[in-house]
Amino acid sequence: MLNIGGLHEGVVIDHIKAGGAMQIYNYLDLEKVDTSVAIIKNAKSSKMGKKDIIKIEAPITVDLDLLAVLDSNITLNFIENDKIVRKAHPNLPDKVTNIIKCKNPRCITSDPCERGLQHTFKLTDPKNRIYRCIYCDQKFKGQL
């Protein structure tokens, strides 16, 4: 049995879709934090079957918009003095900027002359987690 200790202070990102922890780790730039980070992949879950978990042994600021786009089912547990002091469940934002990159080669955001143009997507189908580029209507569904 794998045993990862509890946190005295920090953040636990729980209920990550199995296989999604590294993507969240990368997008949150957790390799740059100077603290312990534990990634638990394919942990058994009664609700999900399998899930990933990230434990960060320090208080950090988390972009809930980014996390919602990556996986809207996650739970953030904020830990202080060995106790959960707050839980957060990210909601899909109506619009995201520079989180999703448009993959359409004909989109204006791909034009080298428009280098400073921000990649902006709007939520068009919340039930299916579908975002569309505001410039070319390119569809983005689900995970990054």
**What confidence tens digit (pLDDT) does each residue in 62-75 have?**
777 778 888 888 99
Whole-prediction pTM value?
Answer: 0.78
pLDDT at 51: 95
User: Which has the closest alpha carbon to 71: 57, 52, 85, 87?
Assistant: 52
Radius of gyration of the chain (CA): 17
pLDDT at 61: 80
Whether the predicted pLDDT of 129 surpasses 90: no
pLDDT at 1: 44
Region 10-88: CATH code: 3.30.70.140
* Architecture of the domain made up of 95-141: Roll (2.30)
pLDDT digits (tens, 9 = 90+) for 77-123: 999 999 999 999 888 899 999 888 899 999 999 887 777 889 999 99
- Alpha-carbon gap, residue 52 to 44, rounded angstroms: 9
Whether the predicted pLDDT of 142 surpasses 70: no
pLDDT digits (tens, 9 = 90+) for 2-60: 556 678 899 999 999 999 999 899 888 899 888 899 999 999 988 889 999 999 998 88
Domain ranges of the chain: 10-88, 95-141
Whether the CB-CB separation of 19 and 52 falls below 8 Å is answered with yes
